[in-house]
Each structure stands twice: as structure tokens, then as C-alpha cells.
Homo-oligomer: A and B are copies of this chain.
């Protein structure tokens, strides 16, 4: 199967591209390196030292004999996207090519507008390009569980049967997203549903939970294939961040009570879910929605798991409750279905002690690369303008912190002597 992975240089995209290539699919990556650019903007870096994409692809080819095609450009540029679709002729497009951080979208007006325009226009361009050039191509679109918010009823997979005043209908599940980013995904979902209806396109909207982990079988083959591991307050997902905080002896920063419950999944399940969606395409005109996660945890649950894993490794982990920078319920009902991907054959990698050990170990291994100033939240949902400034007054590298400590000790010693 010919599969184009839009956003294939990002965290989920890279793991997915390699996995699909490994399974024998003919894969193309479409990317404009926005994700790397945002790191520069934020003064952040992935914990793991990722290679340039050209190196990644060369090493993948050398190790496996498999070629991944590369199209460099922006999906909001319709000419570029059309010519890519025309040239590669995909059977499936997996669309990860969006700005995917909630805090990034909440920095200020410009970031909110950028996120919504970037995501909505990219997806609209793709819908039009498919309609015009590949109407039978299956669109696998990454949504988010955050589209639903935290309603007081069970969350279904995309649609809900409502009985109301003696009549009934199956309608899209009501959406209550919690950031301008999550809103952009809701906008996408509505646009995609409509395009399937009027043009008979086929789409699978995957409402993904919070992804953790970094190692898949493929990226483990070589250091040059290593995947991102984001731990900063803007792009870092919560479990990854907690592991890094544990590794450098910083307290885990739980927002508020930590009762915020979300769906989580291992990145090894992300890639398998994508494959399952590709192998079982939606019907023409169908906009199918799957909830893509394997387990529910509260943020505090996650913190306790990391605390326990740290203890086993001889690290004393503290848990801090800091004011929640987001506007969200800190304790609420949460029960979301997630059976459709299981029905298609997903065997989940549940969050295990061994996985937690390995995550903390990765954090320890790259401890020297940690910038401890990046983990305290600087983006407050309540403010329309958050001036994120590089905390130059804070010790940056954990390693430097150690070095400085040594220096100071030496100084004191010198003075004393």
C-alpha cells in the first residue's frame, strides 16, 4: 500500500513512517520541519538527540534496504500539496501535519490564530486535493481525545444515539475542547465529516489520547533513528515530563489536584493503530471515528507510577501540586469507549513497570541534555498574552547545575582556606 505520512518528521509521524515502511508499505514523508522550528522558537530541545531527517532516511535505507520518499513543503501551500499527491499517488494519507500543542496555541493571539489557520487550512487543502486527484484515497486523520472535553456522560467513539422528546437520531458526539489547539481539531473533524458527505471521500478520524514512550522496534535499530522525547511544558506530554523530572531530582509538577483523567497509550500502539486503520479503510462517504487510547489515568495516578518506578531505581521522587495553568476540571467523571481498534486487532501495550523503568532510564541516560528551566508552566490559559522568556537566570542544564555546584563548593572551600 502506498502511504503518505504528512508530518512524518514529528514524534508520532516518525515512528509511524518507520513502522509502516518495515511492514512493507511504500511510504513517503511529507514535512516542512515546523516541529524543529518550534523548538528553536521555544528554546527547547528534545531530550533525545534526533538526527536530521535526511540522515535518518539514509540510515533506515542502509539498515533495511527500504526507501522512504521525502517531499519537503507545507501542507497549507496547496500547490505543493497537490503536486505531492499527484506525484506520489497515495492509497492512504496519514495526516499528522498539524500544530499539536495545547499550550503553544494558548501563548497569545498570534499562536492561537496560527494554530487554527495552520491546522484548518492544511486539512481543507488535503480534502480538496483528495477530491480532485485521489477521490478513492483513504484519509487517516489524527484527532485528539481532547475534542470531547470531560462531559458527565460516557464518551462514545465519534457519534452518539440520542433519544429526545420521543424521537431518536445518531449524531456527532458533542465537543467541548479545552484549548485553541483542541478547538482546531474539532474544526477539522466537522470539515472532514462534511467532505465525506458531499464528495464521498473516505476518512478515519483517530481521536488519540496522550502518547508516552519513545522506543519502537524500528527506532531502536540505530542511534540515528532515535525518536523525539519532549519534556518541556509546551510540547512535552505528562508522563515523559515526569520521568525527566524524576531523573534530575526535580519534583513532579502536578497541575492542581491532579484528578484530570485522560486516555493514554504507548507509542508502539499508536503506530499499530495507524496500520490497522490503513489496512481496514473506511467506506466511500464514511467518516469513521475511533478513540485511540488503551488506558485511562489521572495525572496524579501517573505521578504515583513514576514515584514508584523511581523508588525501585533508588531515586527519591517528590510530587508537587502547583496551580493549574489550564482551565479544566481537576476532578470529574471520565469514561470513554475505545473498543473499535481492539476489535480490528489491537493488542495494547499497557503501561507496565518495565516500560516505566525504561522511560526513567532513558531520562537518566540523557540527563546531561535536560534543561531544567523548561518544565515549569509559563503559559496560563487565563491570560490572553503569555510572555515566555528564556529563564536565563535559572540553571539550564542539569549537568551544568552539577558543575556549578562543584564550582561554588570549591569557591567556598577556597575562601575558607
Q: Which of A383-406 contact B (CB under 8 A)?
A: 384-385
Taken together as a complex, chains A and B put the C-alpha atoms of A382 and B131 apart, in Å, by 10
Q: Is the CB of B180 within 8 A of A191?
A: yes
Q: How far is the CB of A186 from chain B (nearest CB, A)?
A: 6
Decide: A180 near B194, CB < 8 A? Known: A172-B174, A174-B173, A199-B384. Answer: yes
Return the chain B residue nearest A129 by Cβ: B109
Q: Is A12 an interface residue (CB 8 A)?
A: no
- Which of B151, B173, B186, B333 contacts A190 (CB under 8 A)? B186
Residues of B with C-beta under 8 A to A194: 177-180, 183
Tell which of A60-68, A162-170, A216-224 binds the partner. Answer: A162-170
A interface residues with partner B (beta carbon < 8 Å): 78, 109, 112-113, 116-117, 120-121, 124-125, 128, 131-132, 151-154, 160, 162-165, 167-169, 171-180, 183, 186-187, 190-191, 193-194, 197-199, 327, 333, 381-382, 384-385
Q: Is the CB of B175 within 8 A of A190?
A: yes
Return the chain B residue nearest A121 by Cβ: B113
Q: How far is the CB of A47 from chain B (nearest CB, A)?
A: 30
Q: Is the CB of A125 within 8 A of B113?
A: yes
Q: Is the CB of B187 within 8 A of A169?
A: no
Taken together as a complex, chains A and B put the C-alpha atoms of A167 and B171 apart, in Å, by 18
Taken together as a complex, chains A and B put the C-alpha atoms of A173 and B160 apart, in Å, by 12
Q: Is the CB of B109 within 8 A of A128?
A: yes
Residues of B with C-beta under 8 A to A197: 327
Taken together as a complex, chains A and B put the C-alpha atoms of A380 and B113 apart, in Å, by 30
Taken together as a complex, chains A and B put the C-alpha atoms of A120 and B183 apart, in Å, by 11
Return the chain B residue nearest A184 by Cβ: B187
Residues of B with C-beta under 8 A to A169: 151-153
Q: How far is the CB of A254 from chain B (nearest CB, A)?
A: 20
Taken together as a complex, chains A and B put the C-alpha atoms of A336 and B10 apart, in Å, by 45
Q: Is the CB of A172 within 8 A of B172?
A: no
Q: Is the CB of A160 within 8 A of B164?
A: yes
Q: How far is the CB of A279 from chain B (nearest CB, A)?
A: 28
Taken together as a complex, chains A and B put the C-alpha atoms of A386 and B56 apart, in Å, by 43
Return the chain B residue nearest A130 by Cβ: B384
- Which of B128, B174, B333, B384 contacts A132 (CB under 8 A)? B384
Residues of B with C-beta under 8 A to A333: 167
Q: Is the CB of A124 within 8 A of B109?
A: yes
Taken together as a complex, chains A and B put the C-alpha atoms of A120 and B114 apart, in Å, by 11
Q: Is the CB of B175 within 8 A of A153?
A: no
Taken together as a complex, chains A and B put the C-alpha atoms of A5 and B173 apart, in Å, by 34
Q: Is the CB of B109 within 8 A of A113?
A: no
**Residue among A167, A175, A194 with max Cβ neighbours from chain B (10 Å):** A194
Taken together as a complex, chains A and B put the C-alpha atoms of A176 and B198 apart, in Å, by 12
Taken together as a complex, chains A and B put the C-alpha atoms of A295 and B315 apart, in Å, by 69
Q: Is the CB of A190 within 8 A of B162?
A: no
Residues of B with C-beta under 8 A to A186: 187, 190
Q: Is the CB of A164 within 8 A of B153?
A: yes
